[in-house]
Amino acid sequence: METLIIGCGIAGASAALRLSDDPSQHITIITRAPDPEDSNTSWAQGGIVTRGLDDNPSLLVEDIVRAGAGLSSRQAAYVLATEGPKLVQSVLVETCGVQFDRADDGELVYGLEAAHSRRRVVHKGDKTGAVITRQLLLTLQARPNITLLTDHTAVDLMVHDGHCVGATVLNRQTGEIEPVLAHHTILATGGVGQLFRNTTNPAGARGDGVAMAMRAGATISNAEYIQFHPTAMYINEHPFPLVSEAVRGEGAILLTPDGRRFMLDVDPEWKELAPRDVVARAIYSEMKLNGYEHVWLDIASQRSPDYIRERFPQLVENCAKAGIDPTCDPIPVVPAAHYFCGGISVDLWGQTSVAGLYAIGEVSCTGLHGANRLASTSLLEGLVWGDRAARDILTRDTYHLPRIIPPFTSDADPEFDIQQMMGFLQNLMWEHVGLMRDETGLRQAHQHIQWLRKQVEKQYRYSRPTDALIGLRNAAQVAGLITDAALQNQTSTGAHYRTDSVRERLHVS
Ligand SMILES: Cc1cc2nc3c(=O)[nH]c(=O)nc-3n(C[C@H](O)[C@H](O)[C@H](O)COP(=O)(O)OP(=O)(O)OC[C@H]3O[C@@H](n4cnc5c(N)ncnc54)[C@H](O)[C@@H]3O)c2cc1C
């Protein structure tokens, strides 16, 4: 049987590895990126959740549901908490040889992150994602029944008699669009951070999978829940480098430019380790009210230089590029779009509402994250649902594939500046569909996006499809989806905050 996997971050790689255990399976895994290591997964710093020393699955489920503002699916959280730790050990450690940090006695070192009641996050310094990605790719490239194609952008899903039978794919080297037929198709295309001006996400996170699934008729849910990370480094580089939650987990404090530790007033109990949405909004409010360009994050006054260098090498490296030394200087930080809690609706096996189509990892909505994601659960979600989708596919019968004719494409260049249009969209989303939303701003955004989508569709129809044009088309479609979901949901919950919501007007906390 043929399976097409679109995206080779942790979710796609996990599915490919499990499927390839069966030699009768043939798996094609594609990425739009020229370098297969280019994904959100590679950029993950803090680590991946597993089971801590004094921990159990019920405690993790409770933490997930609390962070998700009560909207998380308990079933999904239970699956993650029970299957996840076993897969970290069997797939990442034993099969792929990932070596997480260990203490002198050989025991794993467990990190603490915001809103976790236990230390349970394993890591490799603050380069966890890069190490996991490298080891996953090395392992899957050695499997004879997996073909990895880089520089290939999926354009649209092909649906025949209600069953997804693969996708049309742009070969970025030749410029040709070809159909890739498959009995099962898995979307593992990651998030949507690039729809916003301030983001921590790499260039590929522009909602391609969500847009493709929408056009194929799949159900999407929870699109208004975008997680904004409180601390992205405010430097002259895009996307902004993330300053991991783990830095606050190890004691860093947030200060206004005049040295006020504002989180003491905002959340006296959890302070800097309050849930992400609370910290992100507190920073945003300080910036908006007082006209600050950024606030400061100070680890230097809390930890020794040696500790900072050893525990956060990536942070030290990123800071150095901007001329900052975090062992003695505070770091300028702002909030930035970071994670998509919503996505393509799937069941506990990653199956979407379209037969033959699965969605896993950040592109999907298992319901796990509810209105807000608990730190370091997304890598684990990709690992678990990649494995589950593959196991489900292995139980399915073969579907008879139809003959598909390659789509017609034009040679004409688009008549507008794609980069400029994307910049317009990103500004619009940041200003009106960002951390604090209201009806007036959302309606304005909705109108502009409608206009932009019309322009893009016209160009898309009559000009040569490039990766950038495909991305803009998808980004505009998903921006419309998020804006409309934010307009419809008038209740502030978790990451979705309406300044004009009923709760806000009644001052209910
Ligand atoms: C800076 C940063 C730090 C983070 N830190 C952590 C952390 O410490 N712990 C944690 O759990 N989570 C963390 N996250 C979140 C986590 O990294 C992601 O949620 C997770 O890696 C998503 O994995 P994925 O496999 O779903 O998608 P990704 O890893 O984003 O992979 C998506 C893949 O799809 C491909 N793709 C996209 N569109 C197309 C297309 N049209 N055609 C073909 N290919 C396409 C991309 O090229 C890529 O290969 C962090 C995220 C960021 C940005």
Please report the atom of ligand 1 found closest to the CA of residue 386: 25
Q: Are residues 206 and 87 in the same domain?
A: yes
Question: Over the stretch 351-405, which tens digit does the pLDDT of each residue have?
Answer: 999 999 999 999 999 999 999 999 899 999 999 999 999 999 999 988 889 988 8
What's the CATH number where 468 sits? 1.20.58.100
Residue 504, pLDDT > 60, answer no
Q: Are residues 216 and 80 in the same domain?
A: yes
Q: Are residues 238 and 375 in the same domain?
A: no
Catalytic site residue 276?
yes
Is residue 186 within 8 Å of residue 5, measured between CB atoms?
yes
Q: Are residues 168 and 299 in the same domain?
A: no
> Is residue 32 lining ligand 1, measured as CB closer than 6 Å?
yes
Please give the pLDDT value at position 505: 46
What's the CATH number where 311 sits? 3.90.700.10
* 3-state class (DSSP) for residue 274: coil
Please report the atom of ligand 1 found closest to the CA of residue 7: 34
Question: Over the stretch 220-279, which tens digit does the pLDDT of each residue have?
Answer: 999 999 999 999 999 988 899 999 888 998 999 999 999 999 999 999 999 998 888 899
Q: What are phi and psi for residue 228, nearest 5 degrees?
A: -100, 125
Kindly give the distance from the C-alpha atom of residue 191 to the centroid of ligand 1, in angstroms, as a whole number: 6
Regarding beta strands 220-221 and 343-345, do their DSSP bridges make them parallel or antiparallel, or are they unpaired? antiparallel
Residue 406 lies in a domain: no
Q: Are residues 49 and 183 in the same domain?
A: yes
Is residue 15 within 8 Å of residue 389, measured between CB atoms?
yes
Kindly give the distance from the C-alpha atom of residue 187 to the centroid of ligand 1, in angstroms, as a whole number: 12
Residue 198 lies in a domain: yes
> Is residue 242 lining ligand 1, measured as CB closer than 6 Å?
yes
Count Cβ atoms below 10 Å from residue 302 Cβ, excluding itself.
14
- Helix, strand, coil % in the chain, rounded to nearest 5: 40, 20, 45
Residue 487 lies in a domain: yes
Residue 31 lies in a domain: yes
C-alpha to C-alpha distance for 235 and 143, rounded to whole angstroms: 41
Is residue 108 within 8 Å of residue 55, measured between CB atoms?
no
Look at ligand 1, atom 4, and give the residue with the nearest C-alpha.
44
C-alpha to C-alpha distance for 34 and 41, rounded to whole angstroms: 16
Is residue 28 within 8 Å of residue 208, measured between CB atoms?
no
Please report which residue ranges of 348-435 form alpha helices under DSSP H.
378-394, 418-432
Residue 13 lies in a domain: yes
> Is residue 485 lining ligand 1, measured as CB closer than 6 Å?
no
Testing ligand 1's pocket by substitution, the residue of 379, 387, 470, 478 carrying the most ligand atoms inside 8 A of its CB is 379
Average pLDDT, the chain: 95
Q: Which of 127-141, 200-214, 410-424, 469-483 has the lowest mean pLDDT?
A: 410-424
Please give the pLDDT value at position 39: 97
Residue 506, pLDDT > 80, answer no
Residue % of the chain over a pLDDT of 90: 88
Q: Which residues have C-beta within 8 Å of that of residue 490, sequence separation ≥ 6?
A: 498, 500, 501, 502
Our count of domains for the chain comes to 3
Residue 411 lies in a domain: no
Kindly give the distance from the C-alpha atom of residue 203 to the centroid of ligand 1, in angstroms, as a whole number: 11
Residue 189 lies in a domain: yes
Q: Are residues 119 and 31 in the same domain?
A: yes
Range of the domain at 453: 418-497
C-alpha to C-alpha distance for 82 and 100, rounded to whole angstroms: 20
Please give the pLDDT value at position 407: 81
Residue among 32, 51, 120, 276 flagged as catalytic: 276
* 3-state class (DSSP) for residue 372: coil
C-alpha to C-alpha distance for 495 and 86, rounded to whole angstroms: 30
Q: Are residues 210 and 165 in the same domain?
A: yes
Using the 3D structure, point to which of 335, 353, 376 is the last residue of a domain. Answer: 335
Residue 196 lies in a domain: yes
Using the 3D structure, point to which of 335, 356, 379 is the last residue of a domain. Answer: 335
Kindly give the distance from the C-alpha atom of residue 382 to the centroid of ligand 1, in angstroms, as a whole number: 9
Residue 507, pLDDT > 70, answer no
Q: Are residues 184 and 51 in the same domain?
A: yes
Please give the pLDDT value at position 404: 85
Q: In the 8-state DSSP scheme, what is residue 374?
A: P
Q: Which helix (H) or strand (E) holds 137?
A: helix 128-141
Please give the pLDDT value at position 508: 37
Question: Over the stretch 118-147, which tens digit does the pLDDT of each residue have?
Answer: 999 999 988 999 999 999 999 999 999 999
Report in angstroms the alpha-carbon separations of 162 from 85, 158, 398, 399. Answer: 36, 10, 15, 12
